[in-house]
Chain A
Amino acid sequence: MHRVKVRVVEDALDANATIAAANRADFDRAGVTVVNLMSAPGAGKTSVLERVLGDLGGIRVGVLEGDVQGSLDADRLASLHIPVTQLNTDGGFGGECHLDANMVRSALPSLPLEDLDLLVVENVGNLVCPAEFRIGEDVRIMVSSIAEGEDKPLKYPLMFRAAELVLVNKIDLLPHVDFDLDRFLHHLDAVHPGVPHMVMSARTGEGLDAFRDWLVELPARVRREVPA
C-alpha cells in the first residue's frame, strides 16, 4: 500500500446544489414560484403565514412545512384550506436542523405542484444551517423578531446575507423590550447593504398588507426574471 494525494477542489455543497437545481427545474416546469422562509425558532414564521396566506387574491398557494418533529405548524395552516405538506427531519442524526435539497425532493411527489402558483417552504427554525443549503427556491425570506435583539445581523451574517427580504416581526413588543429599530436596521445594512425589509406584527396585523401584496406580485415578478 502507498499513499497518494488526490486533488479534489470541490465545494462540499455541490451535491446539494445539483439536487437543488433538479428541484428548481421541476418547479419551473410546473410554473411554481418557491419561497424558502427561514428564521430562528419562535420568530413567527407560521404566525405570519397564517395571517397572509388565506387571502392572496387569485394566487394559488401551498406550504411545505419543515419541522424536526410533529405537525403542530401544519395543523395550524391546514385551517386556511390550502394544501399543506408536512416534512419531518427526525429520521437522521437526532433530527436535521435544516431542510436540504434532497429532503425537499423527497416531498415533491406529495405536493400538488401543477395546481399551485406559489409554494412557501417553511424551513426548520434555525439561524445558521438553513442559510447553507439551497433547496431549489426562487427567493429566500427570513423573519427576525425584535425579541431576539438588535445585534442578530452581526451574529448571524450568513443568514442575513442569504435573505432577499427581511421581515422584522413582533413590532408590537417594541414598548416592552430593549430594541432600537434604527440600530437593528443599521446592523442589517452593514451586513447586507440594500436588502429590503418590512416591519410587522403577526399578532396585531400591522404591516402585513405590504407583505401580502409582495407575495401576490412575486410569481409574476419571478417569471419575468426567468423566462420559461
Chain B
Amino acid sequence: MHELSVSSAIVDTVVRHAAGRRVTAVEVRLGRLRQVVPTSLAFYFELVSRETVCEGARLDQEVVPARLRCSECAHAWEIDMPHFRCPECESADVNVESGEELEVASIEVEEAECTVSR
C-alpha cells in the first residue's frame, strides 16, 4: 500500500535531476526490506508521473536482496523472512549490508543535439 508514497518520492527525485529534460527511462534499486511490490510500484509510477517530465517513462526496477552480517561471529546470510537474529550465534548485533535501498540509480533523458561548439 505504500507504493503510492514511494512512487511520488521517486518521481520528485527524478524531476529534480531531469532539470526540465524529458525522461524516457528511470532505473531504481529497491531493497527487499522496503516491502515494495514491483507491479504495484509500476502502476503508481505511471499514475504519478502523468503531467511531469517523467510521463511515459519506462521504470526499470532492480530488487536488491536483504543481506545481513553478524557483528559477533561475522556470519553473513540472506533472509527471506524478517528474522534479524544471527542463526549461528543468536546475537542481536546484526548489520544490514543490503536490502534497505530505495534509490534512483539513473535516468535516461532526451537532450537536444549539441549545438554549442567550444
> Measuring CB to CB, which residues of chain A are less than 8 angstroms from any residue of chain B?
1-16, 93, 96-98, 126, 128-129, 132-133, 153-154, 157-158, 161, 189-194
Contacts and interface: CB of A to CB of B under 8 A. Distances in A.
Interface of B: 1-2, 4-6, 9-10, 12-14, 16-17, 24-25, 28, 33-35, 81-85, 92, 94, 101-113
B104 A12 contact: yes
Contact of A193 (B25, B94, B102, B104): B94
Nearest to B18: A6
B98 to A, nearest CB: 14
Nearest to B110: A1
Contacts of B92: 189, 193-194
Identify which of A9, A96, A153 gathers the most chain B CB atoms within 10 Å of its CB.
Answer: A9
Given A93-B4, A129-B2, A189-B85, A1 B111 contact: yes
A11 B10 CA distance: 9
A154 B81 contact: yes
B108 A6 contact: yes
Nearest to B86: A193
A9 B106 CA distance: 6
B13 A158 contact: no
A9 B102 CA distance: 10
B13 A12 contact: yes
A1 B81 contact: no
Interchain residue pairs A-B with the least CB separation, the first 9:
A193-B92, A157-B82, A12-B9, A129-B2, A128-B2, A190-B83, A8-B104, A194-B92, A12-B10
